[in-house]
Chains A and B, each alone.
Chain A
Amino acid sequence: MSGRQWRQLGKGLAFVSPWLAGFCLFMALPIGMSLYYSLCDYSLLKGPLFVGLENYAELIWRRDPLGRVGDPVFYQSLWNTMRYAAMALPAGMLVSLGLALLLNAGIGGQSIYRTIIFLPSLVPVVASAMLWMWLFRADPKQGLINGVLEMLGVTGPSWLADKTWAMPSLALMSLWGVGHTVVIYLAGLQDVPRELYEAAEIDGAGLWRRLWHVTIPMISPVIFFNLVMGIIGTLQVFAVPYIMTGGGPERTTYFFTMYLYDNAFNYLKMGHASAMAWIQLVLILLLTGAAFWSSRRWVHYQGK
């Protein structure tokens, strides 16, 4: 490298050094440490003791005396998280895209509608948890949802207190916070060149065909972005079930991150918690990797 290049390198590194230092201290170091801790018996009270793959074995593949593979609570928390993702993710993507399309139709009143739809996504998570616990109360005298259902002659379920309904309740509630995604879609929709629609119209394409053959492909990068963010977000859901259900009833809403948290700070099994942190990391990499891999088939970037 020439002298000028060295100077540039020095200058560049000087400017990015805050992030670089932070990355080493608050990202690389903890991730590395949790890899080591995940191979240790570590209770925070005593120092870590190396035990090899013991934690992973207990969580994932060791058979217990009853012949069950791995830690049933671990698998249940993983299964619950996946179940939630399978409900909340597609529902959220569909609802937000649908709302964005409606808002983009240019029928007037857009800014009022948009504001009302966007506002709930700003509500701090603890406050929205409080509010929805109140709305989901089973007694129609208290819970607004069951109160309204009762007026319509329907007896509502007991939502969060019901084994079958607790998880769908949380997914339903997540739709209330979809406004953030709607705004992202709206911005994407407004970037679609008008000429494309005009051309499609001249070719005789109706509303649905234009949606399917023009709009969706043109905003596919935005859909992809929201999908990846959604995957990462749903895998780490914690506060809402922690506050609203505590994981119940009968652990039906006990999420992956809740078990990780409990292992670390309630059972003081830092080794187990660290192993779970690494499993979570690998899962995120695998799932986003799969999303990126599939994106080659359905995401269209405009040639730039």
Chain B
Amino acid sequence: MATGSGKLDGRRLSVGQRLLAHLALAMVCVGFGLPFVWMLSTSLKTLDKTAEYPPRFVPSPVQWNNYAQVVHHPKMDFLAFARNTLIVAVLSVAGTTASSAVVAYGFARIRFRGRGALFALMLSTMMIPFPVTMVSLFAIFRFLGDHGMGQWLGTFKPLWVPAWFGSAFSIFLLRQFFMTIPEELSEAARIDGCSEVGIFLRIILPLSRPALAVVALFTFMWAWNDFLGPLVYIQDQSQYTLSLGLQTFQSMHGGAQWHLLMAASVMVVTPVVVLFFLAQRTFIQGIATTGIKG
């Protein structure tokens, strides 16, 4: 990303304009940041301190125990929810990254009849939202279970098996990246007797680590976030993901226990925030490429 070079539309701004822009951005950032601070603050308050006017941002006393209460909740096993979410996320990440890379290589590097049409078809599937296929997919997974092809509903399988068939978004992103790798590298390897699979594995993949990281990261985020999928396919509470668990926790407590609810929310958000700070560049560049090349 270009670093700030003092330009809005290419012209240096006056001091007044710069101040004004800083002021506007600072106000927006307060608005965007305060909810986080409030969530954290509520999560460390005692129950009676969650209802206070005027609002207080610094909790006193600081109630770390809220987190322990959530983790050791008698009716909610958040550690199990976290484990379930991780299982689904890891399997989805592995599947999406591996299969999307293979497919993207076909679309980027092999000239074959109908490639353009197939690629266009793939892009158009990005427009089809999950609710459109959800009902029939449910029927399909039920059918498989009823006809001796393994249990699907009430397991994690509907959530991660489709990932092993590539995702249109990831294929698109990887294909764009593969296209930027000079064709001469493949040619040279081909002359040395390298097979297509060999070229893919030994030349393209090692050069594509940044793009593969973007795909892995986005898939992880998506799996961590998903609510409707688990809501439709998961039945037993022992198999809930964090999203589903958090929502159940909320509906169980109705309009009370906000300190515990916020503590649980903080725990769901924290891994994502940590991941972001570890891989900031990957995030930003990944999003930037998808937008521009779209």
Partner of B261, one of A20, A125, A134: A134
The stretch from A55-63, A66-74, A83-91, A146-154 touching chain B is A146-154
Counting CB contacts under 8 A, is B64 at the interface?
Answer: no
Decide if A125 touches B99 in the complex (CB within 8 Å).
no
For B221, the closest partner residue in chain A by CB is: A122
Partner of B265, one of A130, A198, A261: A130
- A296 vs chain B, min Cβ distance (A): 17
Decide if A186 touches B265 in the complex (CB within 8 Å).
no
Chain A residues closer than 8 Å to B135, beta-carbon distance:
30, 34, 37, 260, 264, 270, 273-274, 277
Chain B residues closer than 8 Å to A267, beta-carbon distance:
none
Within 8 A of B (CB), among A228-243: 228-229, 232, 235-236, 238-239, 243
Main SS at interface, chain A: helix
Chain B residues closer than 8 Å to A3, beta-carbon distance:
none
The stretch from B22-30, B181-189, B208-216 touching chain A is B22-30
- B250 vs chain A, min Cβ distance (A): 6
A179 to B39, CA, bound (A): 19
Counting CB contacts under 8 A, is B79 at the interface?
Answer: no
Decide if A144 touches B113 in the complex (CB within 8 Å).
no
- B211 vs chain A, min Cβ distance (A): 15
Q: With contacts A19-B103, A117-B29, A130-B246 known, is A33 near B136, CB below 8 A?
A: yes
For A101, the closest partner residue in chain B by CB is: B8
Give the size category of A's interface with B: 35 or more
Partner of A103, one of B25, B133, B164: B25
Chain A residues closer than 8 Å to B168, beta-carbon distance:
19
Partner of A34, one of B35, B107, B136, B232: B136
Partner of B32, one of A31, A109, A120: A120
For A104, the closest partner residue in chain B by CB is: B8
Partner of A188, one of B9, B32, B107, B292: B292
A14 to B224, CA, bound (A): 31
B99, B103, B132, B290: residue with the most chain A Cβ atoms closer than 10 Å: B132
Decide if B164 touches A18 in the complex (CB within 8 Å).
yes
Decide if B291 touches A187 in the complex (CB within 8 Å).
yes
Decide if B288 touches A186 in the complex (CB within 8 Å).
yes
Decide if A44 touches B7 in the complex (CB within 8 Å).
no
A179 to B3, CA, bound (A): 19
Decide if B34 touches A26 in the complex (CB within 8 Å).
no
Give residues in A with beta carbon < 8 Å to B.
Answer: 1, 5, 8-9, 11-16, 18-23, 25-27, 29-31, 33-34, 37, 44, 99, 101-110, 112-120, 122-127, 129-135, 139-142, 144, 147-148, 150-151, 176, 179-180, 183-188, 190-191, 194, 197-198, 200-201, 207, 210-211, 214-215, 222, 225-226, 228-229, 232, 235-236, 238-239, 243, 257, 260-261, 264-265, 270, 273-274, 277-278, 280-281, 284-285, 288
Can you name 24 A-B pairs with beta carbons within 8 Å? A8-B111, A12-B110, A15-B103, A16-B103, A23-B125, A25-B165, A120-B36, A131-B39, A144-B34, A144-B35, A144-B55, A147-B53, A176-B35, A187-B1, A187-B288, A190-B1, A201-B10, A225-B291, A232-B127, A236-B130, A236-B131, A264-B135, A264-B138, A277-B131
Q: Ordered nearest first, which 6 A-B pairs have the shortest CB separation?
A: A22-B165, A15-B106, A197-B10, A184-B291, A12-B112, A187-B288
